[in-house]
A and B are shown apart, each in its own frame.
Chain A
Amino acid sequence: MTTAAVSRSNGLARKPLAEILDNRNVLAFLCMLPAAALLLTFLTYPLGLGVWLGFTDTKIGRPGFFIGLENYVSLFDDSVFWLVVFNTLLYTTVATVLKFGLGLYLALLLNNHLPFKALLRAIVLLPWIVPTVLSAIAFWWIYDAQFSILSYMLEKMGLIDQYIDFLGTPNNARASLIAANVWRGIPFVAICLLAGLQTISPSLYEAAALDGATSWQRFRHVTVPMLMPILSIVLTFSVLFTFTDFQLIYAITRGGPVNSTHLMATLAFQRAIPGGQLGEGAAIATAMIPFLVAATLSSYFGLQRRKWQQGESDG
């Protein structure tokens, strides 16, 4: 009798806590707490601070005051800022198109039966494994006005008769940086797309061949649609990485000549740290957010599971 009563009262006492913990929402909240704390500390706080700084006239070594949209207003009238926006968009667009064109081509090549396939795949990954700064320095030398190996070889082949000033004129410098970015970015795109290609069942190609498709038609009607889901994910990442690129530019040209290769990220840094204008730099960095959100949103909607990937029978 007594033991039964004790155990029952025990059970009653324990029930509410157990029940609360059993609740999905409570449990989910508890599990998310550590992650949320980390996110708040390391993502939201700096982001919030950055946005806040953009509304102040903070300088290095001097706390600033809230000045509203003044930084943005002055940026709006700043021709350098608009040049940099143009540079960034050009850089992102051209580099992304090239990376995807060449990366897809490379992925298709590597997906074929090649001798030394594993070795080739490892080689393709190399540019990506090398630290950015290291490859940037290498490019710096390749593009050097006097010691450029590229100019040297082209001259020896008789294609040019005087060394190319790769980094000296605005358009040359832009093209050179885009080339360097493409070189670094191709492995990521190629390997991701290769992974996508390998998930396509060979019998689909066989069925298409028997249906009368030429190899172009097989590419167009089987490869491309089947690759679309992974393609749009990789595209999003690639656009984000390229848009926010900093290391390559800063190591090779530092934005020169005459700001022609500055991107928003490098200009923000340039004004904030060497220039000391923390508030203005933060405003430039904040101005990147709408572009990034637009890129992410468009890929979010592009990424939404295509109808054929769903299993629902809603026809």
Chain B
Amino acid sequence: MATVDIRSVHKAFGPTKVIHGVDISIADEEFVVLVGPSGCGKSTLLRMIAGLEQISDGQIAIGGKVVNDVAPKDRDIAMVFQNYALYPHMTVYDNMAFSLKLRKAEKSLIDQRVRQAADILGLNPYLERYPRQLSGGQRQRVAMGRAIVRDPQVFLFDEPLSNLDAKLRVQMRTEIKALHQRLKTTSIYVTHDQVEAMTMADRIVVMHDGIVEQVGSPLELYDHPANIFVAGFIGSPAMNFYPGTLKRNGGIWVEAEDGTRLPAPGNVGGADGQKVVYGVRPEHLTLSGGSSGVQAKVDVVEPTGADTLVFSKIAGVNTCAVFSERHDFRPGQEIRLQPRLDVVHLFDAASGQHL
């Protein structure tokens, strides 16, 4: 178990710059999730930590020791690949035992460790099978088992659940989390699924186009997004955004492009006349009875059973609102939605930063 420090790391593939200076400090025993849209450089960063890619500039230290020039095999790191990368010519048992065999561990120790890992992951019935003879979920478990038996300093996961069906994904997510609570090995987990990130992480690193947009606990990111990108990326369904102008004239509100007045909290920063983006999460819109709130024209109602999603237009912008009670609006019906002022977010339109 170890800390991982990433210090102004850059990566370029030839002339293409992919990572532009990333700084992350990961504490011992922490479970950190790297999340971001496809192509933002998550896998590249993870592979640099593993030693599978050269670091173009900057430093990566594991357990306080700079590993830029340490070969992957000497970094004491285990990685679970997206395609699992199981050795097809070895049984499940041998797949898991391989690293210990290479290390010339005692046969009895290998056996004990493999069986222990198989117990944890429920792989006991499959130890003599070959990877071909397993389902996707079972292969995923073997890949995890291969990582566990080594008892490494750090676990790296590169989208390990993306090949599984939705139900199994939810189940494995819980299992991985439980496993971490039990083993406490420092883990870095890459995903582009923000729900996975929210549910598993101690801390989330949101990446975008090769930079880190924000680092924080799931709820910090949800409650205090640093910029529009994080606000839009974290949370499901995504936050609603309305471009407009901040008005301080007696009251304080944002005037949307078509003149609709969006109520703003009294304590926000920003000058009168500043171009801003007004953000409110679907779950922070409430139905208002009287003339308060903002007028919205219903497009579609999607009942999911637990919640009701109401899609409407406010100031010409598609808006999603989530209600825990059931509603039966007709398309085209006019309703009034009231944003909860304590959780409304204002962003500078030019920089995208939170005001």
Nearest-CB residue, chain A, relative to B71: A209
Nearest-CB residue, chain A, relative to B127: A315
Question: Are B81 and A207 in touch, CB under 8 angstroms?
Answer: yes
B133 contact from A204, A208, A315, Cβ within 8 A: A315
Question: Are B133 and A206 in touch, CB under 8 angstroms?
Answer: no
A207-B79, A315-B128 as given contacts; A222 in contact with B85, CB under 8 Å: no
Which B residues are in CB contact (< 8 Å) with A42?
Answer: none
Asked if A25 is at the interface of the complex by the 8 Å CB criterion, the answer is no
A22 to B89, CA, bound (A): 41
A-contacting residues, B30-66, CB 8 Å: 50-52
B90 contact from A201, A228, A308, Cβ within 8 A: A308
Which A residues are in CB contact (< 8 Å) with B131?
Answer: 308
Question: Are A308 and B78 in touch, CB under 8 angstroms?
Answer: no
Which B residues are in CB contact (< 8 Å) with A201?
Answer: 83, 85
Q: Give the size of the chain B interface in residues (CB under 8 angstroms).
A: 30
Encoded as 1 (CB less than 8 Å from any B CB) or 0, chain A from 303 to 315 comes to: 0001111111101
Which of B98-106, B159-167, B293-301, B304-312 is the contact stretch? B98-106
Which B residues are in CB contact (< 8 Å) with A214?
Answer: 73
B152 shortest CB reach to chain A, Å: 9
A138 to B78, CA, bound (A): 55
Encoded as 1 (CB less than 8 Å from any A CB) or 0, chain B from 123 to 137 comes to: 000001111110000
Asked if A212 is at the interface of the complex by the 8 Å CB criterion, the answer is yes
A210 to B72, CA, bound (A): 5
Question: Are A311 and B73 in touch, CB under 8 angstroms?
Answer: no
B-contacting residues, A207-263, CB 8 Å: 207-214, 217, 221-222, 225-226, 228
Which B residues are in CB contact (< 8 Å) with A217?
Answer: 102
Question: Are B133 and A312 in touch, CB under 8 angstroms?
Answer: yes
Encoded as 1 (CB less than 8 Å from any A CB) or 0, chain B from 8 to 36 comes to: 00000000000000000000000000000
Q: Give the size of the chain A interface in residues (CB under 8 angstroms).
A: 27
Nearest-CB residue, chain B, relative to A313: B133
A-contacting residues, B63-114, CB 8 Å: 71-73, 75, 77-79, 81, 83, 85-90, 98-99, 102-103
- What DSSP secondary structure best describes chain A's contact surface? helix
B102 contact from A211, A228, A311, Cβ within 8 A: A211
Asked if B261 is at the interface of the complex by the 8 Å CB criterion, the answer is no
Which B residues are in CB contact (< 8 Å) with A312?
Answer: 133
Question: Are A204 and B87 in touch, CB under 8 angstroms?
Answer: yes
A217 to B3, CA, bound (A): 29
A214 shortest CB reach to chain B, Å: 7
B130 contact from A203, A209, A226, A308, Cβ within 8 A: A308
Asked if B345 is at the interface of the complex by the 8 Å CB criterion, the answer is no
B88 contact from A213, A221, A308, Cβ within 8 A: A308
Question: Are A212 and B103 in touch, CB under 8 angstroms?
Answer: yes
Question: Are A315 and B72 in touch, CB under 8 angstroms?
Answer: no
A289 to B129, CA, bound (A): 40
A73 to B131, CA, bound (A): 55
Which B residues are in CB contact (< 8 Å) with A203?
Answer: 81, 83, 85
A213 shortest CB reach to chain B, Å: 6
Nearest-CB residue, chain B, relative to A307: B130
Asked if B203 is at the interface of the complex by the 8 Å CB criterion, the answer is no
Question: Are A226 and B88 in touch, CB under 8 angstroms?
Answer: yes
Question: Are A209 and B89 in touch, CB under 8 angstroms?
Answer: no
A308 contact from B83, B102, B132, Cβ within 8 A: B132
A212-B102, A306-B89, A308-B88 as given contacts; A206 in contact with B72, CB under 8 Å: yes
Which B residues are in CB contact (< 8 Å) with A207?
Answer: 79, 81, 85-87, 146
A315 to B102, CA, bound (A): 25
Nearest-CB residue, chain A, relative to B132: A311
Nearest-CB residue, chain A, relative to B73: A212
Which B residues are in CB contact (< 8 Å) with A226?
Answer: 88-89
Question: Are B98 and A221 in touch, CB under 8 angstroms?
Answer: yes
Nearest-CB residue, chain A, relative to B81: A203
Encoded as 1 (CB less than 8 Å from any A CB) or 0, chain B from 183 to 227 comes to: 000000000000000000000000000000000000000000000
A310 to B99, CA, bound (A): 25
Asked if B150 is at the interface of the complex by the 8 Å CB criterion, the answer is yes
Encoded as 1 (CB less than 8 Å from any B CB) or 0, chain A from 279 to 315 comes to: 0000000000000000000000000001111111101
Question: Are B81 and A206 in touch, CB under 8 angstroms?
Answer: yes
Question: Are A209 and B73 in touch, CB under 8 angstroms?
Answer: yes
Question: Are A222 and B128 in touch, CB under 8 angstroms?
Answer: no
A208 shortest CB reach to chain B, Å: 8
A246 to B75, CA, bound (A): 56
Which B residues are in CB contact (< 8 Å) with A307?
Answer: 130
A307 to B88, CA, bound (A): 10
A80 to B78, CA, bound (A): 64
B46 shortest CB reach to chain A, Å: 11
A228 to B89, CA, bound (A): 10
A262 to B90, CA, bound (A): 46
Question: Are A204 and B85 in touch, CB under 8 angstroms?
Answer: yes
A204 to B87, CA, bound (A): 7
Which A residues are in CB contact (< 8 Å) with B52?
Answer: 206, 209-210
Question: Are B98 and A211 in touch, CB under 8 angstroms?
Answer: yes
Question: Are A210 and B50 in touch, CB under 8 angstroms?
Answer: yes
A275 to B86, CA, bound (A): 61
Nearest-CB residue, chain A, relative to B99: A211
Nearest-CB residue, chain B, relative to A206: B52
Q: List 12 A-B contacts (CB under 8 A).
A: A201-B83, A201-B85, A206-B52, A206-B81, A209-B51, A210-B72, A210-B79, A226-B88, A308-B88, A308-B132, A309-B132, A311-B132
8 other contacts beyond A307-B130, A308-B90, with CB at 8 A cut-off?
A211-B98, A212-B73, A213-B73, A217-B102, A222-B87, A308-B130, A310-B133, A311-B132
A residues at B contact (CB < 8 Å): 201, 203-204, 206-214, 217, 221-222, 225-226, 228, 306-313, 315
* 9 tightest A-B CB contacts, nearest first: A211-B99, A203-B85, A207-B85, A225-B89, A308-B130, A209-B72, A308-B89, A212-B73, A313-B133
